[in-house]
Chain A
Amino acid sequence: MNMILVRLAAVVLVLALLSSAPAPVVKAQSNQLVVNGFGGEYEDIFKKTLKEPFERQFNARILFDPTGSASEDYAKIRATRGDPGWDVVVMTAPEAILGCREKLLQPMTEANIPNLKQLYPEVQNAVAPCGAVQEIQYMSLMYNTNSVRPAPDSWKVFWDPRYKGHIIIPDIGSILAVYFLIMASYAYGGDEKNIDPGFDAIARLKPNVTAIILSSSAMIPYVEREEVWLLPYWDGRAHYYRGRGLPVDFVIPKEGSIFLLGALSVPMGAKNKALAYKFIDWWLSAEVQRKWAMAYTVGSARGGLSFPTEHRQAHISSIAQVRKFKSVDPLFIGEKRSDWAERWKKVIAR
């Protein structure tokens, strides 16, 4: 009986070793592109809206890697000094900007990506040259339509004692929290340069909060169970959950809000830059931008696209809408982020 087990174990181990023999090294083929994005439903939409059409049109092959949030992707880029194994990586403006400063991402020009010209300059310039804006979302106020009446019109509704114990705010690690902090500042007489009113407001808010959560998707169970009635949330995701039947709606309060630019980047060590530029340029083309914005329920940084009314009202679809948002310098946020994070943690811990 003794030996049976030992032999069995040996067989299992050999099988494991054999079945996991290292795959042949993926050589840089001129028609293969490695794109890093996100998983879950994003992966499904990406495959249908982008991967398959691109592969057909350009006779290429896309290897999609769903691993990692934008932050985890950036950590990987930093750890490998710009050679994470991807040709294109989907992140957001803060990462693209930092990646440029750290010389880990490839600067892109209108020469190799002509469609950059078609994006709203004030939006694209914020992320240039190491990022290309493939989508825009903004921080909306998501609320439970059953319990929050009338529909809220101001960020100050979070401080309303009626909703004590029914709100969630993001943790400072998330850019959503940084935006919320800034809007709290605006709501109470300050702005991003004078941030003290914002921190005071957060300190006052703390007792009313159910939880402070880092990952935006982790907030949804609370919303599903209708424990939480108010939370800041990205418009694209809010639209998705509303469409899935959750009793929620999302608005832009009267004080305004801040938009978040998605950014496509090419790591310095990318093996197939030529195809990467082609792919990004294609993603920024009018037809693809329109399809992507509709499928992923987000806004686009490209003008001149026609969207159904419902979409136009919910997501950024014109430069006029862009200008309605507070224009906060992402470089400024990048510089201040560390100090604000520390201050936030101390305020919350008290």
Chain B
Amino acid sequence: MSQLKRHLPRWGLLAVVGIIYAYMFLPITVVVLTSLNPGQYLQLPPRGFSLRWYAAALSPDWLEPFRVSLMLALLTSAAATALGLPAAFGLVRHRFRGREAINALLLSPISLPAIVSGVAILQFLSLAGLQGLIGFNALVLAHAAITVPYAIRTIAISLHGFDRSLEQAAANLGASPWRTLRHVTLPLIKPGLFAGMVFAFIVSFNNVPVSLFLVRPGMITLPIRILNYLEYRFDPSLAAVNMLSLVVILIIVAAAERAAGFTKFVYGR
């Protein structure tokens, strides 16, 4: 009996987590069912299955925007993390006047509806005579700007929980600050780095409001194409497109996991 009592909280916790996972996947279930629906729109309970929408989703009309969005998101992710890393160190490791204010300021891009940023950046580029940038370049710049806050925030979280005595130990053993950074600090804040990169990737990949204003005629991102499509049609091929892009990315992640033990690399265990 006491065995049960001991394990009950553990199973209780797992049950709660299971329910939360179910909550997270509830609407996805609807999207999946929609994408497999033989008819034009979703009927619940579903009346059969069909892969025709997936076939439609594999056309170059969708593949090219997917490629653009993927590349854009990768570059944004890298840029946001590169910019955010030193800033997080500055915020966490140093005490200075106005720290909370700078902290808040560096969060500001995500406190504003993205459409305002989109219009503002377009207007700025236009006024500054930088129309030539409009297109992929402006998109990377703008996306990085709106995702830097995520990177700063998550890396700061990791840095807060960081045991400084480890760095001290390394210093005592004769390591230079740079070596300590590379071999002690950075590896230990990987969860924060990872979170920041992932958030930046997701936000960029899904972004509509900023991308809408900064694409150039002749190029398009995946979410914008979906949006255009939605203006005129509401059929399940959109669900198929979404599920496909999700699956592709998951496959890439699974490959990274198999090839190089991704989770262990980031989370250590």
- Contact of B136 (CB < 8 Å), options: A8, A12, A20, A81: A20
In the complex, how many residues of chain B place their beta carbon closer than 8 angstroms to a beta carbon of chain A? 46
The answer to whether B74 and A40 have CB atoms under 8 Å apart is no
Residue A26 is within 8 A (CB to CB) of chain B in the complex: yes
Q: A22-B137, A36-B217, A217-B230 are in contact. Are A13 and B126 (CB under 8 A)?
A: no
The answer to whether A65 and B217 have CB atoms under 8 Å apart is yes
What chain A residues lie within 8 Å of B67 (beta carbons)?
19
- Contact of A69 (CB < 8 Å), options: B75, B225, B231, B265: B231
What chain A residues lie within 8 Å of B137 (beta carbons)?
22
Q: A22-B137, A67-B215, A224-B41 are in contact. Are A75 and B119 (CB under 8 A)?
A: yes
Q: A20-B68, A26-B218 are in contact. Are A40 and B228 (CB under 8 A)?
A: yes
Residue B233 is within 8 A (CB to CB) of chain A in the complex: yes
The answer to whether B40 and A224 have CB atoms under 8 Å apart is yes
Residue A221 is within 8 A (CB to CB) of chain B in the complex: yes
Q: Render B99-136 as a binary contact track against A, CB cut-off 8 A, 1 for contact.
A: 00000000000000000000100110011000110111
What chain B residues lie within 8 Å of A83 (beta carbons)?
126, 131
Distance in angstroms from A7 CB to nearest chain B CB is: 10
- Contact of B231 (CB < 8 Å), options: A22, A23, A215, A225: A215
Stretch at the interface among B1-9, B151-159, B167-175, B256-264: B256-264
Residue B216 is within 8 A (CB to CB) of chain A in the complex: yes
Q: A20-B72, A22-B137, A75-B213 are in contact. Are A65 and B233 (CB under 8 A)?
A: no
Q: A41-B233, A85-B217, A221-B41 are in contact. Are A80 and B225 (CB under 8 A)?
A: no
Distance in angstroms from B183 CB to nearest chain A CB is: 11
State which residues 52-98 of A face B: CB under 8 Å.
63-69, 72, 75-76, 79-81, 83, 85-86
Q: A13-B74, A65-B218 are in contact. Are A39 and B131 (CB under 8 A)?
A: no
Which B residue's beta carbon lies closest to that of A87? B217
**Max chain B Cβ within 10 angstroms of own Cβ: one of A25, A39, A80:** A39
What chain A residues lie within 8 Å of B131 (beta carbons)?
80, 83, 85
Residue B229 is within 8 A (CB to CB) of chain A in the complex: yes
Q: A1-B265, A38-B231, A43-B228 are in contact. List 8 more A-B contacts (CB 8 A).
A: A5-B260, A12-B74, A13-B75, A22-B135, A25-B132, A65-B217, A79-B119, A80-B131
Label chain A's interface by main secondary structure: mixed
Distance in angstroms from B151 CB to nearest chain A CB is: 15
What chain B residues lie within 8 Å of A65 (beta carbons)?
217-218
Residue B234 is within 8 A (CB to CB) of chain A in the complex: yes
Which A residue's beta carbon lies closest to that of B262? A5
- Contact of B75 (CB < 8 Å), options: A17, A22, A34, A221: A17
List chain B positions with a Cβ less than 8 A from chain A. Answer: 40-41, 67-68, 70-72, 74-75, 78, 119, 122-123, 126-127, 131-132, 134-137, 212-213, 215-220, 224-225, 227-234, 256, 259-262, 264-265
Residue A16 is within 8 A (CB to CB) of chain B in the complex: yes
The answer to whether A23 and B234 have CB atoms under 8 Å apart is no
Q: Render A215-250 as a binary contact track against B, CB cut-off 8 A, 1 for contact.
A: 101101100110000000000000000001000000
The answer to whether B217 and A16 have CB atoms under 8 Å apart is no
Which B residue's beta carbon lies closest to that of A40? B232
Interface extent on A, as a size class? 35 or more
What chain B residues lie within 8 Å of A19 (beta carbons)?
67, 71
Residue A349 is within 8 A (CB to CB) of chain B in the complex: no
The answer to whether B265 and A79 have CB atoms under 8 Å apart is no
- Contact of B71 (CB < 8 Å), options: A16, A38, A85: A16
The distance in angstroms between the C-alpha atoms of A8 and B231, with both chains bound, is 39
The distance in angstroms between the C-alpha atoms of A38 and B256, with both chains bound, is 39
Residue A4 is within 8 A (CB to CB) of chain B in the complex: yes
Residue A325 is within 8 A (CB to CB) of chain B in the complex: no
Distance in angstroms from B210 CB to nearest chain A CB is: 12
What chain A residues lie within 8 Å of B220 (beta carbons)?
66-67
Distance in angstroms from A227 CB to nearest chain B CB is: 12
The answer to whether B126 and A23 have CB atoms under 8 Å apart is no
Which B residue's beta carbon lies closest to that of A13? B78
Residue A309 is within 8 A (CB to CB) of chain B in the complex: no
Distance in angstroms from A330 CB to nearest chain B CB is: 23
What chain A residues lie within 8 Å of B119 (beta carbons)?
75, 79
What chain B residues lie within 8 Å of A72 (beta carbons)?
212-213
The distance in angstroms between the C-alpha atoms of A222 and B135, with both chains bound, is 36
The answer to whether A41 and B232 have CB atoms under 8 Å apart is yes
Residue A307 is within 8 A (CB to CB) of chain B in the complex: no
The answer to whether A81 and B126 have CB atoms under 8 Å apart is yes
The distance in angstroms between the C-alpha atoms of A69 and B228, with both chains bound, is 8
What chain B residues lie within 8 Å of A29 (beta carbons)?
none
The answer to whether B260 and A39 have CB atoms under 8 Å apart is no
